[in-house]
Amino acid sequence: MKKTGAWLLRHGLEQLQIAFTYGIPGVHNTEIYDELASSKHIKPILVTHEGNGAFMADAYSRTTGKVGVLVIVPGAGITQAASGIAEAYLDGIPMLIISGGIRSQGEFHYQLHDIRQHDLLAPITKATFHIKKHSEIIETLYKAYDIAIAGEPGPVFIEVPVDIQLETGVVDSIPIYKPQAPVELSSEVIQTIKSAAEILVEAKQPAIFVGWGAVDTGTIVQTIAEHLSAPVATTLQGLSSFPANHPLHVGMGFGPAAVPAAEEAFKQCDCLLAVGTRFAEIATGSYGLPVPDKLIHVDINPQVFNKNYQATVAIEGDAQQVLPELLAELQQLSPAKNYAELAGSIQDNKQRYLTEWLAHYSNERINPAALFRELRALLGDDAFVIADDGNHTFLTAELMPIHQERHFISPTDFNCMGYAVPAAIATKLAHPEHIVVAVVGDGALLMSGLELTTAANYQLGIIYLIFNDGELAQIAQAQQIPYNRKTCTQLGVVDYSGLSAAAGCEYLQIKGEDIITEKLQQALTLVRENKPVVVDIAIDYSKRTRFTDGVVATNLKRFPLKTQLKMVSRAIYRKLAG
């Protein structure tokens, strides 16, 4: 039979049950977009910028557990999308990137968009493929999908030349997709799990640290924590892996960059069970975690073991397979402990920290704790919260409890600003019945704010909370502490009401704490009418998060004494000199 390459690609995506694609049509992919328009199962979403399209594909994967798909042009489309692709790569998020390609046959050189894009993408993808003939398309698409979701997930790239899309080619058959069977745990791994269980039950105060790799295992982690009477801390991504309303949840991190509930609960930890985390820089508060000598590390990627912290026992495997085995072993080896006293201490420390925040004088601006307290009270547990990159990220992590798995997402290890506006769009498209709230710093909004037009065009009821303080707060604070001055972190004046009107969004403003509840209720009413709402918040950033203070202190200690003295003396001199 004969089929065009574009038809084959569309058919393959349908077999993979892809619901959305994100991107922009151009010279080299109009045939693909024409086929997508004919699909009864796939909805192509037009974005304003390919980087935002990559953030959408990433967010779709994170909030659904499926695979987001980016369809873009080669060359400029690839370079524009690279930041979002790299974010997915470093955060372990599956993604398919499909681009058109220059003509595979022809007499001319220096074609439009002709760059070595496979070389460019090699460091930020798990694999890349260049289609040479029609018969390769569906088979390659299935292979790319399997690679994207296998092991530690990540993005995979496929280039389909424009002439192959357009012209018909002979294919012997059109295969159906057959999902890969999960790899069973080996007897060696099971024996290692038994050894880990023995160490955990012998520990006086075991504790648990979960990352994104533990997502979808929350119920089992809860049972393990309750059995061991173990506090549970998370990474930033891992906030979606363990519910904050569980009595053993302590917050993000557990070292000097963590909230008091975490720091106190982990003080006597003599054995740590770490699941689905690479102990990367943000997760560890710049490598400041006081990891005990006994570390049991579970991860699907064996390359992460013993990189930053030495493991006593390293267990290679999917947390969804490893943890049920571990729980069974624990239940055989010991009875469940009573965790009431520990839970009470955790709750007291959480309440004291919130009280400390609420008592902070915000000088007529909005206290973040007051805002998040009201927001949490108004939202159901099934609301999605997306935080962009910036000071607001860690305020959200410390002050906004997340109650369900996959209901909080944020750029993490690649740390891209501009993530939340487009990510909220993909989240709302995938979960139209749920409330979606994006927490966006004013600096981050300036990077991707025009994507608000996409939210309006598709009539998506999303609440965009703009934390407006007029500067790049996270870096400004990091400058102020050691330098006692700020450089290139103050933003210009922006009329957010005008921006909202131009984009087709509703606009609300919160300038006083007495109207927080009223304005948030108005926003919730508007989004239920399928209207995106920009809520301009005069946020107070004068109180630093525990994360910021902890990271600065940890990094300062890491410097040689001479450098420490230089930085401290410079800051003191500048303060005295005004």
Contact 125, 157 (CB under 8 A): yes
Span 6-55, pLDDT tens digits = 999 999 999 999 999 999 999 889 999 999 999 999 999 999 999 999 99
52 half-sphere exposure, CB direction, 13 A CA radius? 25
Instruction: Note whether 159 and 138 are same-domain residues.
Output: yes
Domain that holds residue 523: 360-544
Residue of 413, 361, 353, 416 lying closest to 546 (CA atoms): 353
Contact 235, 211 (CB under 8 A): yes
Contact 148, 95 (CB under 8 A): yes
AA letter at 6: A
pTM for the full model? 0.95
With a cut of 70, say whether residue 438 has pLDDT above it. Answer: yes
For the chain, what is the largest distance between any 2 Cα atoms, rounded to a whole number of angstroms? Answer: 81
257, 365, 491, 571 from 558: Cα distances, Å = 15, 35, 31, 18
Whether 537 is in a domain gets the answer yes
373 half-sphere exposure, CB direction, 13 A CA radius? 14
Span 485-512, pLDDT tens digits = 888 888 888 999 999 999 999 999 999 9
pLDDT (0 to 100) of residue 537? 97
How confident is the model over 59-73, as a mean pLDDT? 98
pLDDT (0 to 100) of residue 173? 87
Q: What is the H or E stretch that residue 74 is in?
A: none
**Cα 447 to chain center, whole Å?**
17
Dist. CA 74–CA 116, nearest whole Å: 10
Contact 101, 159 (CB under 8 A): yes
AA letter at 473: A
Whether 219 is in a domain gets the answer yes
Phi, psi of 129 (to 5 degrees): -135, 140
pLDDT (0 to 100) of residue 552? 82
**pLDDT bucket at 533, cuts 50 / 70 / 90:** very high
Looking at residue 130, which CATH number applies to its domain?
Answer: 3.40.50.970
Dist. CA 469–CA 542, nearest whole Å: 10
With a cut of 80, say whether residue 564 has pLDDT above it. Answer: no
Q: Which two tokens stand for residue 148?
A: 């994207």
Residue of 173, 158, 253, 245 lying closest to 208 (CA atoms): 253
pLDDT (0 to 100) of residue 262? 98
Instruction: Note whether 333 and 458 are same-domain residues.
Output: no
Whether 354 is in a domain gets the answer no
Looking at residue 340, which CATH number applies to its domain?
Answer: 3.40.50.1220
Instruction: Note whether 376 and 519 are same-domain residues.
Output: yes
- The number of beta carbons lying within 10 Å of the beta carbon of residue 276 is 31
Q: Which two tokens stand for residue 210?
A: 């979960």
Count: domains in the chain: 4
Span 138-180, pLDDT tens digits = 999 999 999 999 999 999 999 999 999 888 888 988 999 999 8
95-117 burial, b at 16+ Cβ within 10 Å, e below that, comes to: bbbbbbbbbeeeeeeeeebeeeb
Contact 409, 383 (CB under 8 A): no
pLDDT (0 to 100) of residue 513? 93
Span 300-345, pLDDT tens digits = 999 999 999 999 999 999 999 999 999 999 999 999 999 999 999 9
pLDDT (0 to 100) of residue 1? 84
AA letter at 430: A
Dist. CA 24–CA 56, nearest whole Å: 13
Span 209-266, pLDDT tens digits = 999 999 999 899 999 999 999 999 999 999 999 999 999 999 999 999 999 999 999 9
AA letter at 571: A
Instruction: Note whether 218 and 308 are same-domain residues.
Output: yes
With a cut of 90, say whether residue 93 has pLDDT above it. Answer: yes
Dist. CA 28–CA 363, nearest whole Å: 55
With a cut of 70, say whether residue 578 has pLDDT above it. Answer: no
**pLDDT bucket at 110, cuts 50 / 70 / 90:** confident
Dist. CA 314–CA 457, nearest whole Å: 49
Instruction: Note whether 229 and 115 are same-domain residues.
Output: no
The SS3 assignment for 488 reads: coil
Look at the chain and count its residues. 578
Instruction: Note whether 82 and 40 are same-domain residues.
Output: yes
Residue tagged 């058919």 (tokens): 11
Dist. CA 356–CA 369, nearest whole Å: 9
Q: Which two tokens stand for residue 273?
A: 């069970």
Whether 105 is in a domain gets the answer yes
**565: Cβ–Cβ under 8 A, 6 or more apart, which residues?**
none
Dist. CA 327–CA 220, nearest whole Å: 8
Residue tagged 């999605």 (tokens): 384
Instruction: Note whether 420 and 553 are same-domain residues.
Output: no
Residue 35 forms beta bridges with which residues? Answer: none
Dihedral angle over CA of 273, 275, 278, 284, nearest 10? -60
CA dihedral sign of residues 245, 528, 428, 48: negative
Instruction: Note whether 102 and 221 are same-domain residues.
Output: no
Instruction: Note whether 466 and 341 are same-domain residues.
Output: no
The SS3 assignment for 497 reads: helix
The SS3 assignment for 100 reads: strand
Instruction: Note whether 481 and 333 are same-domain residues.
Output: no
Last residue of a domain, one of 322, 345, 368: 345
Whether 182 is in a domain gets the answer no
Instruction: Note whether 47 and 194 are same-domain residues.
Output: no
pLDDT (0 to 100) of residue 493? 87
Whether 178 is in a domain gets the answer no
Instruction: Note whether 164 and 100 are same-domain residues.
Output: yes
User: How far apart, in Å, do the first and last CA atoms of the chain sit?
Assistant: 79
With a cut of 90, say whether residue 268 has pLDDT above it. Answer: yes
Whether 350 is in a domain gets the answer no
